[in-house]
Amino acid sequence: MTRLIKNIIETTQNFQRPENGLARSEKNFIWAVPFEDLLVQEIYNDIEQVIDANVRIVQQVLEIYNQYSYLLQESEKVQKFIGQANNTIKNYQQQIQKYKQLYKEVNQLVPFYVRMNLIEVNGLEVKQKLLETCESLEENLVRAIHKFVLKRISDLSKEIGDLFQGVQSKAETAEKLVEIERNIEKIRVSEFKKVQLDFADTCKWLFELYNNNFQCEEELKLIHQLSNSVHSFIGKIDHEEVRVKRDREELENKLRRRKEEFVTSIDFVSN
């Protein structure tokens, strides 16, 4: 702008008067505008003020962009969080809510464009990148919950299967009978309560997926199957306990007969 004004003023220097081509004149040049002219200086000052004001606004806008630039480095931090084994639902809720709130802030405070008298700042790509980063970080956290839920369902299903397998075999020896009875007692005292607590906790994690608009139809089917296994488990244990009692009676009768046969054989040898 200042260069343009300078060029305009320079064109007034030594500018031939048009009438000189028709008749001689005492003045060969039109009146030149001096650079020191008060009006020229005022124009320069006005231009500088406008430029300074635009530059200050640009700097303020850049501060807004820089305020959220750290989001571009948050991926490693989120992965580190996901890798921690002791995270609770509340921990995940706080992290997810954090990035949801940041998405809203970026969307509201960071402009796509900043239009001024002389300058237009195009922040479209920057804002889109920040918004996509917030969404990506949130999605990573939700996917981590999904992965945890699937593993929890699989582990609980296996645990129930292993517990049941430990009581359903036939007690053919006294040692096996004691082992099965001990397994049944352990299930009633502690193991089944643990399974119930873990199942309830898994349902809470699954509900958190639902709250974050995660499509979890298959997971609902799996949790339904697991629910049936959990709620029918103690009934199966009752059934196996009745069978084990019969096995005990059979084993005791068998041992009693052997004892009687042994006593009879001893008496026969003695006589």
Query: 246 and 265 share a domain?
Result: yes
- Predicted confidence at residue 45, as pLDDT, reads 76
Q: DSSP string of 168-222?
A: SS---SHHHHHHHHHHHHHIIIIIHHHHHHHHHHHHHHHHHHHHTT---HHHHHH
Q: Residue 33 belongs to what domain range? A: 2-53
- Give CA–CA dist 191/166, Å, rounded: 12
The total number of structural domains that make up the chain? 2
- The H or E element spanning position 83 is helix 74-83
pTM exceeding 0.95 = no
**Does residue 261 register a pLDDT over 80?**
no
User: For residue 162, how many C-alpha atoms fall within 13 Å in the half-sphere facing its CB?
Assistant: 8
- Predicted confidence at residue 187, as pLDDT, reads 93
Query: 70 and 18 share a domain?
Result: no
The residue that leads in pLDDT, 233 or 33, is 233
Query: 112 and 10 share a domain?
Result: no
Please identify which residue in the block is written with the tokens 């430990």: 166
Provide the token pair at 153: 């369902």
User: How far is the first Cα of the chain from the last one, in angstroms, to the nearest whole number?
Assistant: 135
Query: 72 and 198 share a domain?
Result: yes
Q: Provide mean pLDDT across the span 195-210.
A: 94
- Predicted confidence at residue 93, as pLDDT, reads 96
* Percent of the chain residues past pLDDT 70, beyond the cut: 75
Query: 178 and 213 share a domain?
Result: yes
Query: 59 and 36 share a domain?
Result: no
Query: 43 and 90 share a domain?
Result: no
- Which tens digits make up the pLDDT trace of 25-55? 556 655 666 667 777 677 767 777 777 766 6
Q: Exposed (0-12), middle (13-18) or buried (19+): which is 195, by Cβ within 10 Å?
A: buried
Q: Provide mean pLDDT across the span 142-151.
A: 95
Query: 132 and 194 share a domain?
Result: yes
